[in-house]
Amino acid sequence: MDIKEIMGKVEELHKKIINLQEELSSKEVEASSGGGMVTAVVNGIGQLVKIQIDPTVVDPNDIQMLQDLVVAAVNEALKKAKELREEEIAKLTGGLKIPGIDLF
């Protein structure tokens, strides 16, 4: 394979990565904490899209608990989004781990 062919493959992979980014931005994952009292929704590129908080968990005397539930839900949603990206990237690369490809 000559340099021209390699560059063509790199260009093709770059286009596929851009398409994958667009596709992942429209996919959402969600996670909850506190038995569903706080739910976080994150898109496939790791952006927080929505937080839902059950009003019964809002206690002005225990803000720390609410903060902990929000952090737990967001972190779990981000973990799920990362797993989704890794699955999609593996499909794109045929399972090969290419350094720097998870640029989202």
Those residues with Cβ within 8 angstroms of residue 48's Cβ, 6 or more apart along the chain or in another chain: 40, 41, 42, 74, 77
pTM: 0.81
**Is 101 inside any structural domain?**
no
Burial letters for 45-84: b for 16+ Cβ neighbours within 10 Å, e otherwise?
bbeeeeeebeeebeeeeeeeebeebbebbbebbbebbbeb
Query: Domain range spanning residue 84?
Result: 3-93
pLDDT of residue 104: 53
What does the CA dihedral 89, 92, 94, 97 come to, rounded to 10 degrees?
-40
Q: Is residue 99 part of a domain?
A: no
Question: How many domains does one find in the chain?
Answer: 1
- Digit-by-digit pLDDT tens for the chain (104 residues) are 788 888 888 888 888 888 998 999 999 999 999 999 999 999 999 999 999 999 999 999 999 999 999 999 999 999 999 999 989 888 887 777 766 665 55
